[in-house]
Amino acid sequence: MIIPSSFTQLQDALSRHLATHPASVLSPTLPTLFSLLRNYTSNSADWSTFAHADAAKQYTRNLVCEVPGLFNLLLLVWTPGEQSPVHDHADSHCIMKILQGNLIEKRFAIPQHPGLEGPLHQTSCKNFKRDQVTYMSDSLGLHEISNPSPTEFAVSLHLYTPPNAALRGCHVYDQSSGEARHVLQGAYDSVVGVAAN
């Protein structure tokens, strides 16, 4: 197993592995992807060029690298005290690594009849700290990510394969009513370290 010593080595290892393992047979290779992310030790000097923050937003989405139709790797910067909406993953695999701070993940069951069953049912709540890695897919339900710190930005790295949400959007859910709506992904806040205009 490769132990990436730099962020560039991690990107290269993920890219090489995914290029040789089609998404249609991805599940057996998830442990390898998980291990690559887990074995990289976060160093802000490696990834700070990708970490564009915007305190006016809940979080920023910064594209690190991608192979269209195969995967994308995003670095998210979480504003203090902010959170994502509850959302699905558009039938893709998501592996998340905490690079800075800590993030809380709440998971919810996917309602069979959104908006007709009342509030979403929470199934778990976990706190992930720097260098921890977690996995999410629609087979595990919905989730919400939040930065509990009132003062510090948090940073996380997200590998999506295939990158379905970037292509066709995803669903976000109202926690109190269970209603779902389809949303398209907005423009990235930066692309390969260059801030969007």
Q: At what angle do helices 7-19 and 30-39 cross, to 10 degrees?
A: 170
Across 32-52, average pLDDT: 94
Asked if residue 195 is part of any domain, the answer here is no
Residue 53 inside a domain? The answer is yes
pLDDT tens column, 96-141: 999 999 999 999 999 999 999 999 999 999 999 999 999 999 999 9
User: Looking at the 3D structure of the chain, how many domains does it have?
Assistant: 1
Average pLDDT in the 24-49 region? 85
Assess if residue 63 is contained within a domain.
yes
Q: Would residue 165 count as lying in a domain?
A: yes
pLDDT digits (tens, 9 = 90+) for 167-192: 899 999 999 999 999 999 889 999 99
Domain contains 160: yes
* Residue 191 within any structural domain of the chain: no
Read off the pTM: 0.93
How would you classify the pairing of strands 59-67 and 190-191?
parallel
Query: Which residues constitute the domain of residue 124?
Result: 7-186
Positions at the binding site for Fe cation: 87, 89, 143
Pairs from 9-18 (Cβ < 8 Å, separation ≥ 24): 9/40, 10/36, 10/37, 10/40, 11/64, 11/65, 11/73, 14/71, 14/73, 14/159, 15/65, 15/67, 15/71, 18/67, 18/70, 18/71, 18/161
Query: Is beta strand 59-67 parallel, antiparallel or unpaired with respect to 71-78?
Result: antiparallel
Q: Is residue 192 part of a domain?
A: no
Instruction: Please report which helix (H) or strand (E) contains residue 38, including its range.
Output: helix 30-39
- CA dist., res. 92 & res. 163, Å (int): 7
Domain CATH number, residue 136: 2.60.120.10
Specify whether the CB–CB gap between 80 and 100 falls below 8 A. no
- Is residue 197 a part of any domain in this protein? no
Tell me the binding residues.
87, 89, 143
Q: Please report where in the chains the tokens 């709440």 appear, as a residue.
A: 106
